[in-house]
């Protein structure tokens, strides 16, 4: 029987379409290495469908059990969705660590599961891992559709302007400066926002505390662009300039502060600081600061006092400070550390012993939580030393150290500040007076650029003070190097420290992150595809066709000679016999 070319072409196209359709259903699985049998794919599908239904009913524990069975068949065509559903269950059960792991597995199995990234970002947000939340949102934005991108960007802006600022403020109050700066810098990338003033105000405070003074000044000025009446920021700027020894700028900003501050106590402290900065400015210009020592200053004041070599070893009484609030046993180690340091600096011309009876002592060290009054300067004091000289030789020294913070009622002095103050006051007890250089530990007040240890000028001055004494045998006291005595020296503030902005001023944006929605698209069962014929079986017998064409006679019965255009076309025609 003859078959026209159009009929053959139609049959060929149908065969090609069927082959292409069958291949298309298999290739994606094969391309991902999914070569499981239909039975395995079907089992994974059933477990997944059951698990998702249980999850929708709120039975997360049971859903988890079934979904884990589905995951046991990995890898399958359903692995991405299985692990995403597992992540959803773990999140509902508050097992956040495992939920995060499942979102990563879901995305690794199927990169089209971009919801896994969004879900992971939300889990990070819920667990206050704000930096990881933002990083994951950026990853999601790169692959999401337009609607998803818009939603993620809105969430990112909220997290930066509000949550990062809040987290930064918490870290700042806890003294975790590096962490605080990290979060606040992230928050600043959301400018401008309703919280921008607070962000830059906190950054100004954090950078100043961290010694990054130029950045503190930059951030303080940015904060004032958003809120020009913030007194705390204005004070912080003044202190940042003071820390740079730019006393003219510091005084100028303090005067601006006085225009903004209404609290009488803080105004009084600022006015006192202005007078001290004027004195700093004058002393900074002293020609003596260019000298390797400041013995000349002591001579000008007729304060060249020292301990006679007949008094050696100097007897030291250290009060046990029983019942003194704020006292800590390590403070004793700081006294011994200071004594050892100055004795070494004298050129080993000094030595001392610790005595138990204060009546026998030459130097008495005491602690008190009360306010200390100084006769030499009108200022808040963290330590005061009273000396009794006789003909330029010292006969008695009483060192008083304050255990409470002079500027923050109800708080105690920090270890580093106590160590620095002790070093300064023991210097006085051994005969040193004040230096004119802000960097010396014996400067008349604490300064941020001091290290809490004697400078070369300090060491040179005490060496000159005892130059005529004979060298003595001196060995440091083991207590000064005890592990518990280790401390980072920090000069105490000599002013009322400006406060960081309060976190309760933060304004949360109206946008709230939408919750993660479990996968809702229809779950398609696996398509059964017969396995390819076994090559060995081909050698043994001819393949059995899955379709046989109808007999010729049956075709003839259906022919209609009257209507040739309606003649039935067979689906498949075998080639004519040769």
Gap between the Cα atoms of 273 and 242, Å rounded: 10
Measured between alpha carbons, how far is residue 217 from residues 124, 222, 233, 251, 490 in Å? Answer: 33, 9, 10, 15, 21
Q: How high is the pLDDT of residue 175?
A: 84
Q: How high is the pLDDT of residue 30?
A: 38
Q: Is residue 168 part of a domain?
A: no
Same domain, 408 and 458: yes
Q: Is residue 147 part of a domain?
A: no
pTM above 0.95, yes or no: no
Q: Is residue 88 part of a domain?
A: no
CB distance 279 to 287 below 8 Å: no
Q: Any idea what DSSP says for residue 312?
A: P
Q: How high is the pLDDT of residue 525?
A: 84
Q: How high is the pLDDT of residue 498?
A: 64
Q: Is residue 415 part of a domain?
A: yes
Q: How high is the pLDDT of residue 509?
A: 56
Please report how the helices 330-345 and 415-429 are oriented relative to each other, as an axis angle in degrees rounded to 10. Answer: 40
Same domain, 401 and 346: yes
Same domain, 360 and 397: yes
Q: Which residues of 374-395 are buried (b: 16+ CB within 10 A; e: fewer)?
A: eeeeebbbbbbbebeeeeeebe
Gap between the Cα atoms of 432 and 442, Å rounded: 8
Gap between the Cα atoms of 267 and 255, Å rounded: 10
| Contacts of residue 422, Cβ cutoff 8 Å, sequence gap at least 6 | 331, 334, 335, 337, 338, 383, 401
Gap between the Cα atoms of 518 and 88, Å rounded: 7
Q: E strands along 379-526, which residues?
A: 383-390, 393-402
- Report the 10 Å Cβ neighbour count for 256: 16
DSSP string over 63-104: HHHHHHHHHTT-SSTTHHHHHHHHHHHHHHTT-HHHHHHHHH
Same domain, 300 and 249: no
Same domain, 281 and 311: no
CB distance 253 to 240 below 8 Å: no
Same domain, 250 and 391: no
- Report the 10 Å Cβ neighbour count for 112: 11
Given 485, 502, 519, the domain boundary residue is 485
Q: How high is the pLDDT of residue 493?
A: 67
Residue 529 sits at φ, ψ, to 5 deg, of -120, 120
Same domain, 250 and 334: no
- Return per-residue pLDDT of the chain as tens, 578 residues: 444 434 333 333 233 333 333 333 333 343 344 446 888 999 999 999 999 999 999 999 999 999 999 999 999 999 999 999 999 999 999 999 999 999 999 999 999 889 999 999 999 988 989 889 999 999 999 999 888 888 899 889 888 988 899 889 889 888 899 999 999 999 999 999 889 999 999 999 999 988 899 999 999 999 999 999 999 999 999 999 998 889 999 999 999 999 999 988 889 889 988 998 998 898 888 889 999 999 999 999 999 999 999 999 999 999 999 889 999 999 999 999 999 999 999 999 999 999 999 999 999 999 999 988 765 444 568 899 999 999 999 999 999 999 998 777 788 999 999 999 999 999 999 999 999 998 999 998 888 888 999 999 999 999 999 999 999 998 888 877 777 666 777 766 666 666 666 666 666 554 455 555 655 678 888 876 666 665 554 444 445 444 444 544 443 444 444 444 444 444 444 555 54
Same domain, 270 and 327: no
Residue 315 sits at φ, ψ, to 5 deg, of -90, 125
Q: Is residue 451 part of a domain?
A: yes
CATH number of the CATH domain containing 459 = 3.40.390.10
Same domain, 333 and 252: no
Q: How high is the pLDDT of residue 211?
A: 85
Q: Is residue 389 part of a domain?
A: yes
Q: How high is the pLDDT of residue 462?
A: 97
Q: How high is the pLDDT of residue 70?
A: 94
Q: Is residue 134 part of a domain?
A: no
Domain extent, residue 243, equals 229-285
Q: Is residue 576 part of a domain?
A: no
Given 246, 264, 285, the domain boundary residue is 285
Q: How high is the pLDDT of residue 527?
A: 75
Same domain, 311 and 426: yes
Q: Any idea what DSSP says for residue 388?
A: E
Q: In what order do the strands lie in the sheet with 393-402?
A: 352-355, 314-318, 363-368, 393-402, 383-390
Same domain, 277 and 304: no
Same domain, 470 and 407: yes
Given 285, 306, 332, the domain boundary residue is 285
| Total of domains in the chain | 2
């Amino acid at each position: 029987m003859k078959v026209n070319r159009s009929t053959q072409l139609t049959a060929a196209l149908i065969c090609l379409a069927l082959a292409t359709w069958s291949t298309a259903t298999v290739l994606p699985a094969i391309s991902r290495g999914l070569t499981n049998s239909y039975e395995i794919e079907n089992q994974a599908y059933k477990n997944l469908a059951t698990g998702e239904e249980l999850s929708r009913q709120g039975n997360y524990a049971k859903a988890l059990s079934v979904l884990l069975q589905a995951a046991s068949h990995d890898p399958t065509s359903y692995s991405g969705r299985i692990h995403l559903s597992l992540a959803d269950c773990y999140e509902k059960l508050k097992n956040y660590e495992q939920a995060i792991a499942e979102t990563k597995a879901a995305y690794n199995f199927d990169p089209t599961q971009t919801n896994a990234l969004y879900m992971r970002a939300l889990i990070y947000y819920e667990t206050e891992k704000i930096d990881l939340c933002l990083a994951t949102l950026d990853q999601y934005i790169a692959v999401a559709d337009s609607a998803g991108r818009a939603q993620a960007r809105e969430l990112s802006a909220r997290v930066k302007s509000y949550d990062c600022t809040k987290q930064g403020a918490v870290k700042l109050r806890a003294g975790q400066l590096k962490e605080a700066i990290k979060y606040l810098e992230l928050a600043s990338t959301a400018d401008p926002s309703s919280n921008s003033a607070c962000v830059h105000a906190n950054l100004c405070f954090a950078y100043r505390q961290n010694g990054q003074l130029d950045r503190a000044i930059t951030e303080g000025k940015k904060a004032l662009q958003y809120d020009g009446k913030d007194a705390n920021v204005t004070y912080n700027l003044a202190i940042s300039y003071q820390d740079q020894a730019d006393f003219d700028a510091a005084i100028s900003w303090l005067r601006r502060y006085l225009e903004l501050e209404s609290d009488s106590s803080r105004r009084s402290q600022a006015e006192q600081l202005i007078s001290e900065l004027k004195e700093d400015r004058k002393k900074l210009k002293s020609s003596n600061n260019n000298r390797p020592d400041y013995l000349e200053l002591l001579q000008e004041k007729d304060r060249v006092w020292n301990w006679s070599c007949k008094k050696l070893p100097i007897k030291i009484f250290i009060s046990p400070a029983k019942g003194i609030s704020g006292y800590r046993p390590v403070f004793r180690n700081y006294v011994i550390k200071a004594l050892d340091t100055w004795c070494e600096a004298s050129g080993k011309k000094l030595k001392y012993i610790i005595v138990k009876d204060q009546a026998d002592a030459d130097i008495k060290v005491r602690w008190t939580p009360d306010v200390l009054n100084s006769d030499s300067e009108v200022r808040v004091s963290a330590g005061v030393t009273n000396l009794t000289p006789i003909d330029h030789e010292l006969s008695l020294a009483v060192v008083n150290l304050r255990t409470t913070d002079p500027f923050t009622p109800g708080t105690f002095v920090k270890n580093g500040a106590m160590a620095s103050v002790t070093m300064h006051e023991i210097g006085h007890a051994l005969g040193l007076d004040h230096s004119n250089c802000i960097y010396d530990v014996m400067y008349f007040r604490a300064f941020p650029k001091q290290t809490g240890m004697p400078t070369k000028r300090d060491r040179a001055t005490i060496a000159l003070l005892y130059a005529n004494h004979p060298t003595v045998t001196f060995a440091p006291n083991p207590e000064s190097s005890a592990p518990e005595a280790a401390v980072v020296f920090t000069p105490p503030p000599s002013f009322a420290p400006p406060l960081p902005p309060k976190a309760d001023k933060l304004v949360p944006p109206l946008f709230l992150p939408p919750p993660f929605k479990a996968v809702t698209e229809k779950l398609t069962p696996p398509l059964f595809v017969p396995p390819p014929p076994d090559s060995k079986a081909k050698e043994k017998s001819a393949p059995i066709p899955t379709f046989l064409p109808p007999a010729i006679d049956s075709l003839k019965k259906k022919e209609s000679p009257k209507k040739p255009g309606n003649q039935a076309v067979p689906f498949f025609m075998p080639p004519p016999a040769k």
